C-alpha cells in the first residue's frame, strides 16, 4: 500500500474535537410536528412520513428547542441566534481541542474559520477573540460559502497555511447552525427535506508542521473540482425571512455519474489509486448519497459505517459533519491513507488524504 506523498513540510492534525448544542431533536417527534404543520389531514402521514423515515436519522442537535420551529421568525432574529450560538459552540470546541493538544489560546498563530449558515461581520473569529484569550496579533481567515465542502476545504486551507509557516500552529474552526434556516412558511420540497436532515454542530482542529508533532496524522494532498453550469445544484437563496435551502434531487445521480472521474484524476495526479487507500471519510449529504458513494468506491452496501452512524446520531451538519466522522474514525484507531470527500455549492467536490 502506497502512502500519499507531500512535498515540503508535512501538516499534521494535532487535535480534533467537536461540540453539539443542548437541544435534542428526535426524528419521530420532528416528523409528527412537520406533518401536522405541512400536511394536516388523513393523507398527510402517508405522504410525508417516508421523507423522515428514509433519511435514516434518529436524533439531531439544535441550538433552539423544537417548539421554536413551529413559529415564524425574521432573518434578523435568526441571525442574532446564529451569532450567539455559533460563538458559544466554537468556544466549546476550541477549549476541548486546545486541551487535547496541551496548548493555550495564546499558542495559536492563525484562525481559519469556516461557516455558511449565517452572516457575521465582524466575523466569528473576531467574536471568539472577545471570549477567549487569543493573542491580539493572531492572523484571521474567515471563509464563507463553501457549504458542505467546507470541512475538507477548510482542512486544505489550514494545511496550506501550516506549510507556508512551518513553525506556526493553525486553529481550524468549523461551525454550522443549519437547523436555524428552517422557514415556517416554506412548503417547497427542499425545505421539507431540510426538516428531516439538518442539524447543528461545531469542530475545532489544531494543525501544524512543527517537528514535535511528527507522529500525528498527516494531512494532504488536497484537491477540488468545480463543475460548470452547476450553480443551481446546491446552496442558499436569500428570502425575507432567512436563508432558503437549495439542493437538487439529482445529487445522488451526479455522484454516480460524474464523481468517479474526479476521484480518479485526483488520485492519479498524486500518484495514488484506490488500491492504496485504507478507507474513506465521506460527508453524508444523505442516506442516498452514501449509497451512491459506496457504489462509486466499489464498497459493499452500508459499509461506510462511521458516516452512517454520524448521520444517524447528528444529521447533516453541512461542513462540520465530515470532521465528526474523521474524529470518530481516529478514535477507533484507523491507520493508513484515507480519502476524505465532500460535495458542496459550486457545485464542487473537495478531496483530501489523511494518513493516521
97 half-sphere exposure, CB direction, 13 A CA radius: 30
Percent of the chain at pLDDT exceeding 70: 97
Read off the C-alpha cell for 111: 484562525
Report pLDDT for 44.
Answer: 65
The region of weakest confidence among 82-86, 161-165, 221-225, 248-252 is 248-252
Q: Residue 84: its pLDDT value, please?
A: 97
Instruction: List Cβ neighbours of 30 (8 Å cut-off, separation of 6 or more).
Output: 52, 60, 66, 195, 196
Provide mean pLDDT across the span 329-337. 97
Please give the model's pTM, rounded to 2 decimal places: 0.94
**What are the cell numbers at 344?**
458542496
Site of grid cell 468517479 = 260
The continuous run of DSSP H or E covering 17 comes out as strand 12-19
What pLDDT is stored for residue 4 in this prediction?
67
Compute how many other C-beta atoms are within 10 angstroms of the C-beta atom of residue 129. 18
Residues with catalytic roles: 148
Across residues 111-126, what is the average pLDDT?
Answer: 96
Q: What is the average pLDDT value for the chain, to the nearest integer? A: 92
For 199-218, what is the mean pLDDT? 97
Indicate the range of 120-134, 185-199, 306-320 predicted with least confidence. Answer: 185-199
Domains of the chain: 12-213 (3.40.47.10), 218-355 (3.40.47.10)
Which pLDDT band holds residue 25 (cuts at 50, 70, 90)? very high
Using pLDDT thresholds of 50, 70 and 90, give the confidence band for residue 290: very high
Percent pLDDT > 90 in the chain is 74
Amino acid at each position: 500500500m502506497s502512502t500519499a506523498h507531500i512535498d515540503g513540510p508535512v501538516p499534521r492534525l494535532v487535535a480534533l474535537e467537536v461540540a453539539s448544542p443542548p437541544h435534542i431533536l428526535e426524528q419521530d417527534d420532528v416528523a409528527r410536528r412537520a406533518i401536522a404543520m405541512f400536511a394536516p389531514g388523513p393523507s398527510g402521514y402517508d405522504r410525508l412520513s417516508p421523507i423522515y423515515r428514509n433519511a435514516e436519522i434518529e436524533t439531531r442537535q439544535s441550538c433552539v428547542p423544537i417548539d421554536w420551529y413551529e413559529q415564524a421568525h425574521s432573518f434578523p432574529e435568526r441571525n442574532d441566534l446564529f451569532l450567539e450560538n455559533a460563538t458559544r459552540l466554537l468556544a466549546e470546541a476550541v477549549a476541548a481541542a486546545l486541551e487535547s493538544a496541551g496548548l493555550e489560546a495564546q499558542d495559536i498563530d492563525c484562525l481559519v474559520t469556516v461557516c455558511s449558515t449565517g452572516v457575521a461581520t465582524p466575523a466569528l473569529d473576531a467574536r471568539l477573540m472577545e471570549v477567549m484569550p487569543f493573542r491580539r496579533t493572531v492572523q484571521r481567515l474567515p471563509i464563507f460559502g463553501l457549504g458542505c465542502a467546507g470541512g475538507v476545504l477548510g482542512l486544505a486551507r489550514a494545511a496550506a497555511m501550516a506549510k507556508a509557516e512551518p513553525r506556526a500552529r493553525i486553529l481550524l474552526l468549523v461551525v454550522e447552525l443549519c437547523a436555524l434556516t428552517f422557514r415556517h412558511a416554506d412548503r417547497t420540497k427542499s425545505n421539507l427535506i431540510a426538516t428531516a436532515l439538518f442539524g447543528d454542530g461545531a469542530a475545532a482542529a489544531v494543525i501544524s508542521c512543527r517537528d514535535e508533532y511528527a507522529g500525528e496524522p498527516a494531512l494532504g494532498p488536497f484537491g477540488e473540482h468545480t463543475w460548470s453550469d452547476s450553480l443551481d445544484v446546491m446552496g442558499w437563496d436569500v428570502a425575507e425571512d432567512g436563508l432558503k435551502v437549495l439542493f437538487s434531487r439529482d445529487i445522488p445521480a451526479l455522484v454516480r455519474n460524474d464523481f468517479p472521474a474526479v476521484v480518479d484524476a485526483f488520485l492519479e495526479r498524486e500518484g495514488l489509486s484506490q488500491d492504496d487507500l485504507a478507507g474513506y471519510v465521506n460527508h453524508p449529504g444523505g442516506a442516498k448519497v452514501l449509497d451512491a458513494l459506496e457504489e462509486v468506491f466499489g464498497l459493499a452496501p452500508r459499509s461506510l459505517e462511521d458516516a452512517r452512524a454520524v448521520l444517524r446520531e447528528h444529521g447533516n451538519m453541512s461542513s462540520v459533519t465530515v470532521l465528526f466522522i474523521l474524529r470518530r474514525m481516529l478514535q477507533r484507531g484507523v491507520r493508513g491513507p484515507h480519502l476524505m470527500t465532500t460535495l458542496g455549492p459550486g457545485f464542487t467536490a473537495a478531496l483530501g488524504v489523511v494518513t493516521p
